[in-house]
Structure 1
Amino acid sequence: MTPRTTAGRPAWAGRNYTLLTTSAVITTLGSHGALVASAFAVLETGGSGADVGLVAAARTLPLVLFLLIGGALADRIPRHRVMVAANALNCVSQGVFAVLVLTGEARLWHMMLLSALGGTGQAFFSPAAEGMLLSTVTGEQANRAFALFRMSVNGAGIGGAALGGALTAAIGPGWVLAVESVAFALAGGLRAFLDVGHVPARAPGGGLLSDLREGWQEFSGRPWLWSIVLQFSVVVAVVGAAESVYGPLVAREHLGGAAPWGIALGAFGVGTIGGALLMMRWKPRRLLFTGTLCVFPLALPSAGLAVPLPVWALCLVMLVSGVAIEVFGVNWMTAMHQEIPEEKFSRVAAYDWFGSVSMVPLATALAGPVESAVGRSTALWGCAALVVLVTAAVLAVPDVRRLTRRPAPARTTAPGAASEAAPAAAVGAKA
């Protein structure tokens, strides 16, 4: 039986873990709805598929530009301060976006600029958040903790996507964007209470460039790490183009609009919950080999949109891909937690994020022109084929096939865990 604290939580689910999970659930509820709303906001102002792609690219470009700086910063100053500041920027940018849409004053350049500000916030937030989460759980319970965190967040994504699609169809995208702004404000308030006392003080050293160089050495010296990040630079780009650009267009022309597309995205969320429940109990010995096999099903949604499948069948393939990516995600986070030193978590996470999203601006910006050149169906089949090809290539890397789960050192409590004996314990040394 898993030991429990006086609050009824598992011993490893301490104060930091609870705050991180709660705040992530809040922002996910808002952001999943806003993903649907922002695409339809562009379309409702007379924009084309190419314009949807430009707005999506505008968000991702600053994410790529600032990720590495964000990672170095989060390993140098308290991570929760970086997270709160990024949440504040996201709150303001989404709030202005909502006001412009609601008043009918939104123009394409407005939406691109505000999306770019949101991407800047995410660039600083993501490495800090991942580093904070990785440092919050013990090695022994890492698999279960990551699975429960992801299940909670993805469960929120189900409601957020479905509700966002329904609200976008019923009252328009502006109100959905306003809800996301409020969600960022509330989540930032919660994250301000995170405890970073367990994180060892950084030893005096070089400046930003030195920190980036150390992170690069940690990243480039591990073939399993950089090969999977290269794989996901393609996978995330083509899946992102398919779902953020082609998906809303297929939904509008063949599926009935925003609400069915929101339901399909919700089915993906249901699948991720199923995958997380599976990973709460299953601990594969070959972490990355098992995870990489589960990337192949990510080709299914693009293929389903290419046909296009009816709504029920599209929901089924989204469900399957959701289960598969969750198995990959938990194994990936467990491998990072096991192999990367704590003081370099955020910098390595930044290189991970940088590689994974670096091709997204190009893919989303080119989605419209590619559709015009070869047709939407051919473009979607190409997305599916690329997922299969790069995933097969990664399986040729020996470290991906051989990296195994190691027994973790015994620990009594996780950082930030509430107990009668002590408020916290030292932390041990991972899109």
Structure 2
Amino acid sequence: MTGLRASLNVLQERNFRWFFVSRSINMLGSMMTPVTLAFAVLHIDNSAESLGLVLAAQMGANILFLLFGGVIADRLPRRAVMQGCYLAMAAIQATMAVSLATGWASVASMMVLGALSGGVTAFSMPAQQGLIPQLVDREQLQQADSLMSFVRNGGTFVGPVVGTMLVVTAGPALAIGIDAATFLVASALLAKVELPSVIRRGTPMLTELREGWSEFTSRTWLWVIVAAFGVLNAIHIGAWVVVGPVVAKNDPDLGIRGWGLVVGAEAVGMLVMSVILLHWRLQHPLRAGMAGMAFFAIPLLMLGIRPATLPMMAVAFVSGMGTQTFSTGWTVAMMERIPSEVLSRVSSYDMLGSFVALPIGTLAFGWLADNVDVRTLLLVAGAAYATLALATLLVPQVWGLRRQGDEPESSTLRQDLTKKA
């Protein structure tokens, strides 16, 4: 069964229902934080380089602990790992909110708190990725992910708009304080998820890391896309997250409010596509996904050509649709093709490869934005992004990967994937 009815049937599963409510509340609070954090740092020091330092500290700590987080998520109950991470994040966000409200926040303190939050997230992300297949049947994975994406993208639309309004009217402390509260509520609700006890092996951590690496490298489609995203994400965070707010803040045709609307329009595109994916089965999830990711180059190029609010909103909407297509396709491919007992470890290698260049991207683009022509920088970034995203489609395993159960029995691709899976 597909479509909206199937997605609602997913909510009949008690454990997934509580997980869905917990994550939904958490996401609605957290979606305000990226744009709020950006303008909070720029309020302290109006410099792209300072914002780059804070984001680099956050991403650097995340990268440092990701592999350890993947092993822990495969060893310990994943629900308990997520609960502990939520409580830690509540404390970190509350501290950040108080520091901003009382005026003692500095770039250095924001770097420390950002590093702590990045380290905690390194444990929660692999745990979440490994938990979802324990909550729903395999045939319901796309519907479950699309339903989660619907709420996440709704929060991504509302969050930046509300966040920017709070920055303008009340300052960033309130938005970050609200995020801290949602982590507390989410942790309490997650306690309702009941899973059978799983016996974890007492093998050495290095052995478990080698097992995860073997699973990761045995799938060409997996490591090719992860390698590509190592560069794509660096361009994204550098050009869009670091340079974008700086351009917006200093451009009379865009401004802070306009930037919030552009980011919100991107989220609406993701929201619309998440609804479409409740009905449309992705037969070639990676082919559709990487083609969709190439559309992100358009708002990057327009940001360098003429960052007017309405045209930027239009292209950001289309880009959001493409991003969501990849997000769902990638999640389903991972959950279908990788055994549950190693999924968190493989996910940690995925995240490590995808995120490893993020600190470089934040620092490099932060420095470049202060030292070279920003328009040229954004045009080069957009062209490079489109070229790399489309180049992955030249790899047969990326172009030809199908959903499990959809492959022709006699195809070489099926034989190859079955052998590797």
TM-score, normalised via structure 2 length: 0.92
Q: State the partner residue of 2:417.
A: none
Q: Helix, strand or coil: the match of 2:343?
A: helix
Which amino acid in structure 2 is aligned with residue 207 of structure 1? P
Q: State the partner residue of 1:416.
A: none
Q: 1: distance between equivalents of 2:254 and 2:286? A: 39
Q: 1: distance between equivalents of 2:49 and 2:268? A: 30
Whether the aligned pair in 2 keeps the contact of 1:34 and 1:180 (CA below 8 Å) is yes
Q: State the partner residue of 1:43.
A: 42
Q: Helix, strand or coil: the match of 1:304?
A: helix
- Structure 1 position 288 matched with structure 2 position 304: no
- Structure 1 position 273 matched with structure 2 position 271: yes
Q: State the partner residue of 2:412.
A: none
- Structure 1 position 400 matched with structure 2 position 394: no
Q: State the partner residue of 2:409.
A: none
- Structure 1 position 236 matched with structure 2 position 233: yes
Structure 1: tracts of 5 or more residues without a match: 409-429
**Is the deviation greater in 214-223 or in 136-145?**
136-145
Whether the aligned pair in 1 keeps the contact of 2:254 and 2:309 (CA below 8 Å) is no
Whether the aligned pair in 2 keeps the contact of 1:286 and 1:401 (CA below 8 Å) is yes
Q: 1: distance between equivalents of 2:78 and 2:92? A: 22
Whether the aligned pair in 2 keeps the contact of 1:134 and 1:345 (CA below 8 Å) is no
Q: Helix, strand or coil: the match of 1:75?
A: helix
Q: State the partner residue of 2:77.
A: 78
Whether the aligned pair in 2 keeps the contact of 1:155 and 1:269 (CA below 8 Å) is yes
Q: State the partner residue of 2:347.
A: 349
Q: State the partner residue of 2:411.
A: none
Whether the aligned pair in 1 keeps the contact of 2:45 and 2:107 (CA below 8 Å) is no
Q: 1: distance between equivalents of 2:181 and 2:211? A: 37
Q: State the partner residue of 2:376.
A: 378
Q: How many residues align?
A: 405
Q: State the partner residue of 1:247.
A: 244
Alignment of 1:77-226 (within 5 A): 77-197=76-196, 200-202=198-200, 204-226=201-223
* Cα distance change, pair 270–11 in 1 and its aligned pair in 2 (3 A): closer
Q: State the partner residue of 2:299.
A: 301
Q: 2: distance between equivalents of 1:316 and 1:388? A: 18
Q: 2: distance between equivalents of 1:304 and 1:185? A: 40
Q: State the partner residue of 1:338.
A: 336
Q: Helix, strand or coil: the match of 1:395?
A: helix
Q: 1: distance between equivalents of 2:4 and 2:385? A: 42
Q: 1: distance between equivalents of 2:157 and 2:370? A: 32
Q: Helix, strand or coil: the match of 1:193?
A: coil
Q: 1: distance between equivalents of 2:177 and 2:184? A: 11
* Cα distance change, pair 220–2 in 1 and its aligned pair in 2 (3 A): closer
Shift of 1:369: 1.4
Q: Percent identity?
A: 34
1:364 aligns with one of 343, 352, 362: 362
Which amino acid in structure 1 is aligned with residue 230 of structure 2? S
Query: RMSD value over aligned CA atoms?
Result: 2.1
Shift of 1:218: 0.4
Q: Helix, strand or coil: the match of 1:141?
A: helix
Regions of 4+ moved over 4 Å: 1-5
CA deviation string 1:232-254 (max 9, x = no partner)? 11111111112221111111111
Q: 1: distance between equivalents of 2:46 and 2:57? A: 15
* Cα distance change, pair 292–102 in 1 and its aligned pair in 2 (3 A): same
Whether the aligned pair in 2 keeps the contact of 1:241 and 1:364 (CA below 8 Å) is yes
Shift of 1:168: 0.9
Q: 2: distance between equivalents of 1:404 and 1:121? A: 34
Q: 2: distance between equivalents of 1:336 and 1:323? A: 20
Whether the aligned pair in 1 keeps the contact of 2:266 and 2:316 (CA below 8 Å) is yes
